[in-house]
Amino acid sequence: MKVLVADDISKNGVELLKAQGYQVDVRTGLREDELAKAIKDYDVLLVRSATKATRKVIEASKLKVIGRAGIGVDNIDVEAATERGVLVMNAPSGNVISTAELTIGMIFALARRIPQADASMKKGEWKRKEMKGAQVQGKTLGIIGLGRVGAEVAKRAQALGMLVIAYDPLVSPEVGARLHVRLMSLDKLLEVSDFITLHTPLSAQTKDLLGKNQLASMKKSAMLINCARGGVVNEDALYEALSQNKIAGAAVDVFVNEPPAGSKLLTLPTIVLTPHLGATTAEAQEEVGSEIAEQVIAYLRDNVIKNAVNMPAKLDPELVPYMPLAEKLGTFTSQLGKTSAGRIEIQCLGELSKKDTSIITASVITGLLKPLSEEFNVNYINAFAMAKARGIEIVSSTSDESGRFSNLIRVSLQTNGDKVSTAGTLMPDRGARIVEIDGNPVDIVPEGHFLLIAHMDKPGMIGKVGTILGDSDINVASMEVARARARGPAMMILEIDDDLPIEVLRKVRQIKDLTSAIAIKL
């Protein structure tokens, strides 16, 4: 077995591979053409972030595994690897402690103005009064994303005497209680926190998760830390909030463009900036190097798959078309939930019941977890383990009874006694459709932005909603109303062209006889 290490990883990782009798060659700094030529004789390619495992490289190889010593796999063409039957795996655990510690360091840097004081001293100044700070004991820390890094931050903050609250709809109340963290809505967390730290991936659901309106709802004395991913906080909105003193400070380790040349954030005195240092410790680099080596060995020697980001094994071709639909149903249903996830039920009905539908179940869970889980590359290999770690109970079932559809996937989510559900199918010549929401018959394409409104069916409701959206320059692409009977409970589903600003959603929620209004993004 031959292994090519194309970026520097820990010496221990290399030695672990050699101890298995593998031939290990370390050749760093290879350009695409050079790597494509060199890779032909190797079974395993190990990279960090510098080397690009492009389609050209992968198609020139006979690789069995590509391993990323770290979390992100942006430098690997995962689609090309999957097509060629190459397993791609990452090492997401090794940098957890380093990132959590950096977050705590950022809190102290902001609270005590350490970078500003250091810069002032080096200018020969002595500005004790101007550098007055605040202690963190007794302050409220709001954590957005209570996965592995978020949980480690919580433990350290609690040891400092901070009150820790969190927003994470993918964490069960039991897990929150075990961590001694109070779970709440994002809106409430923004309103009451003294410090806010983010630990989520960048996805369609988390892009600009904190924008102008969210930053405006924070305390003027609050401080924001982002050691997660660039783009989760809108950089223009953050600049405006800081430059106009709408929040007191921010610390940022990640950026939309790295390095952030020309960014307006570089000009602000109330922000602490670091060059993506979350995993940049000797210990973290040692950990991820050893972690990826151990995973490669487990796969090649024992056929044990861990932290895979794709699944090159052949799938039932009749189930493959249903997997994207199942994932969308998971994402849609998770956003319907009002509080933290506790139990998810997946039913495969009709002709699907004759198949092994475990891959459908895994796809639903992937859609449920991926948008907000801080572990990157949640997929149908690791979805079950990640759901279990969050305390989510999974129940799957099948039945040949599917009503008016030949096949149906129904997803139900229980959250603190409340239950929400969706169902979808594939229609001939029409593709994927969501055909049921909370028992109401609908017909919507699972793409784009939606506003779901539960209300009493009475004259004027549509007009009231339309007026608010129109006055806010929100364009409605389509609308339908589902109801069981006239003048009874009903659901209005509006497809809108853009993301719905939080202040517009709040106005809609103030309409009389409206039960709930939820913005959905797919």
Give the catalytic positions in this structure.
229, 258, 276
Residue 270 has φ and ψ, to the nearest 5°, of -100, 20
Are 69 and 13 in contact, with CB atoms under 8 Å apart? Answer: yes
Do residues 157 and 104 make contact, with C-beta atoms less than 8 angstroms apart? Answer: yes
Say if CB 262 and CB 237 are below 8 A apart.
Answer: no
Is the distance from CB of 86 to CB of 109 less than 8 angstroms? no
Residues 6+ away with beta carbon under 8 Å from 247:
215, 218, 219, 220, 221, 222, 223, 224, 241
- The span from the CA of 492 to the CA of 478, in Å, is 11
Between CA 335 and CA 208 the distance in angstroms is 16
| Closest residue by Cα to residue 310 from 95, 4, 67 | 67
Q: Name the residue among 208, 85, 200, 82 with its Cα closest to residue 143.
A: 200
Say how far apart CA 48 and CA 32 lie, in whole Å. Answer: 15
| Burial letters 305-344, b for 16+ CB under 10 A, else e | ebbbbbbbeeeeeebeebbebbbbbbbbbbbbbeebbbeb
- Spatial neighbors of 187 by CB under 8 A, at least 6 apart, are 217, 502
Rg of the chain's alpha carbons, rounded to an integer? 25
Burial pattern 236-256, b for ≥16 Cβ within 10 A else e, equals: ebbbebbeeebbbbbbbbbbb
**Edge-to-edge strand ranges of the sheet holding 431-437:** 393-399, 343-350, 407-415, 418-427, 431-437, 440-444
Element at 393 (helix H, strand E): strand 393-399
